[in-house]
Chain A
Amino acid sequence: GENVEQHPSTLSVQEGDSAVIKCTYSDSASNYFPWYKQELGKRPQLIIDIRSNVGEKKDQRIAVTLNKTAKHFSLHITETQPEDSAVYFCAANNYGQNFVFGPGTRLSVLP
């Protein structure tokens, strides 16, 4: 089955800097890769996703890139703000039947 690794596990950046979180997956048949943000005590919420027929997708300060050959995808947050502080999870679908999540990255944006 699918295996998703995520790095780093913790990330601290200064406000205004960029943050990058990387995930790798094992199943070459995976074709959908969402990213979720989870604030303390809250539910995960989708922030951006990408499908396998696209190499990059951007939504304001957030972007995701996908390299199918290398089986990795990355989340890029530019001009970070304190409200970006949260745990971020990547995920990949497993033969289209279910999702496998990475272990998460705790992002701290320091004022």
Chain B
Amino acid sequence: NAGVTQTPKFQVLKTGQSMTLQCAQDMNHEYMSWYRQDPGMGLRLIHYSVGAGITDQGEVPNGYNVSRSTTEDFPLRLLSAAPSQTSVYFCASNGNNKANSPLHFGNGTRLTVT
């Protein structure tokens, strides 16, 4: 199993541009989530999904959209990039549809918005 795969690894955007961060898992996990990691602030939840067709907002959802059309994929869309969205983004999944088992993280996407 590849686990959780994120692409791209690095991305530079100009303010106002849009892009999609890709996340795929091959473990048949129901629960998938997106976090951003900023220095000194730990991991903050952006959006999460407990199964295909179901998404919900986390702590910092503004400026981001998600969809979950399949169990495997959970893309994160930046609608109009802002410098405040410069961060490292992690996708994670776990083996049931609740937050009561270990998260498996992808390798992250380092995004810089200029």
Known interface pairs A34-B102, A43-B107; A101-B43 also in contact (CB < 8 Å) = yes
The answer to whether A73 has its CB under 8 Å from any CB of chain B is: no
Known interface pairs A89-B43, A103-B42; A43-B108 also in contact (CB < 8 Å) = yes
Residues in chain B near residue A96, CB distance under 8 A: 98-100
The answer to whether B103 has its CB under 8 Å from any CB of chain A is: yes
**Beta-carbon contacts of B77-114 to A below 8 Å, as 1s and 0s?**
00000000000001000000011111101111000000
Give me the interface of A with B, judged by CB distance under 8 Å.
1, 6, 9, 31-32, 34, 36, 42-46, 49, 51, 89, 91, 93-94, 96-104
* Residue from the list A9, A93, A103 in contact with B100, Cβ < 8 A: A93
Query: 28 A-B contacts, Cβ less than 8 Å apart?
Result: A1-B59, A6-B42, A32-B99, A34-B102, A43-B108, A44-B43, A44-B90, A46-B103, A49-B102, A89-B42, A89-B43, A91-B43, A96-B98, A96-B100, A97-B56, A97-B98, A97-B99, A98-B33, A98-B56, A99-B45, A99-B99, A99-B103, A101-B35, A101-B43, A101-B44, A102-B42, A103-B42, A104-B40
Contact call A46/B102, Cβ cutoff below 8 A = yes
Complex CA–CA separation, A100 to B60 (angstroms): 12
Complex CA–CA separation, A100 to B35 (angstroms): 10
Point out which of A9, A32, A101 has the most chain B C-beta atoms below 10 A from its C-beta.
A101
Complex CA–CA separation, A42 to B44 (angstroms): 17
Contact call A43/B99, Cβ cutoff below 8 A = no
Complex CA–CA separation, A44 to B92 (angstroms): 10
What is the CB-to-nearest-CB distance from B22 to chain A, in angstroms, rounded to a whole number? Answer: 16
Residues in chain A near residue B43, CB distance under 8 A: 44, 89, 91, 101
The answer to whether B48 has its CB under 8 Å from any CB of chain A is: yes
Complex CA–CA separation, A63 to B99 (angstroms): 21
Residues in chain A near residue B41, CB distance under 8 A: 103
